[in-house]
């Protein structure tokens, strides 16, 4: 079995058990080019979120 297949199977087994995928397994998956979507997991979305300071202009910064 190819290492990528082994990682996918281990991740899916964790999900079937209701357990989170261990970080070391996710790190190993990343080295093989696998993503969260390969584990049927949603990818983080930052749509609609405002980041602190993202709308600040240079003219808005004042010295106290």
Q: In the chain, what are the domain boundaries?
A: 1-42
CA–CA separation, 34 vs 2, rounded Å? 13
- What does the pLDDT read at residue 38? 76
* Closest by CA position to 24, among listed 10, 38, 37: 10
**pLDDT tens per residue across all 64 residues of the chain:** 888 899 989 988 998 999 888 889 888 988 888 887 777 776 666 555 555 555 555 554 555 5
């Amino acid at each position: 079995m190819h290492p990528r297949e082994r990682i996918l199977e281990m991740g899916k087994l964790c999900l079937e058990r209701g357990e989170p995928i261990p970080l070391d397994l996710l790190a190993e998956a990343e080295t093989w080019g696998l993503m969260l979507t390969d584990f049927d997991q949603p990818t983080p979305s930052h749509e609609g979120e405002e980041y602190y300071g993202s709308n600040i202009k240079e003219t808005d910064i004042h010295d106290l």
